[in-house]
Structure 1
Amino acid sequence: MKKIKAFYLQNCPHCKRAFKMLEELKSQNSSYSEIDIEYIEESENVQAASAHDYYYVPTFYVDGVKIHEGVPTLEKLEEVLKKAL
């Protein structure tokens, strides 16, 4: 199983919505709950954020490859989880 890095900002409404969507997807498919997601708050970990190429949050990387950036949808987030499986 591949690791996911999720970059976010604490007060970002799109990030908060993405996290709720992830929980919904995990409740629908138990195998998604086993995926290791490292959450990185970009203003608290500027060095890690600077090492990755993105402009909008939330941004999701699977094994170092950017899969999603910006406004989330259930479909896009499920694609992130599927790529990690």
Structure 2
Amino acid sequence: MKKITIFYQPLCPFCKRAFKYINECIQENPELGDIEIEKIDELIQPDYADKFDYYYVPTIYFEGKKLHEGGIFKDEMKDLLTSVLTGKEYNQPTK
């Protein structure tokens, strides 16, 4: 099973939206449910979070590579999850 790691803060509205989009994407595309989601609350695990190179949350890593940092739209989340599942490259859109 493939696993992504998401660094987040519980009160962050962008993080809440990202988790909502993950759930919606999995409901609409059940095969995406095969991806394990590791959630790291950076306020609870700051020593671990400090080992990674990011500034904004949510930040999503897959196999040690940062895929996305900051706010994310639903279509971007679907593309990210699909890329993890299929092995295709994901490029974070520039905003």
TM-score interval, normalised by the smaller of the two chains: over 0.9
What is the rounded CA distance, in whole Å, between the counterparts of 2:66 and 2:47 in structure 1?
A: 17
TM (norm. structure 1) is 0.93
The aligned residue for residue 36 of structure 2 is 36
Q: CA deviation at 1:34?
A: 1.4
Report 1 or 2 for greater relative contact order, CA contacts < 8 Å, sequence distance ≥ 6.
Answer: 1
1:1-85 → structure 2 map (5 Å cutoff)? 1-85=1-85
Q: How large is the RMSD of aligned CA atoms in angstroms?
A: 1.0
Q: Which structure 1 residue ranges, 4+ long, deviate > 4 Å from structure 2?
A: none
Superposition deviation, residue 79 in structure 1: 2.4
Q: Identity rate of aligned residues, in percent?
A: 44
Q: Secondary structure at the match of 1:37?
A: strand
Unpaired runs of 5+ residues, structure 2, are 86-95
Give the unaligned 5+ runs of structure 1: none
Highest CA radius of gyration, 1 or 2? Answer: 2
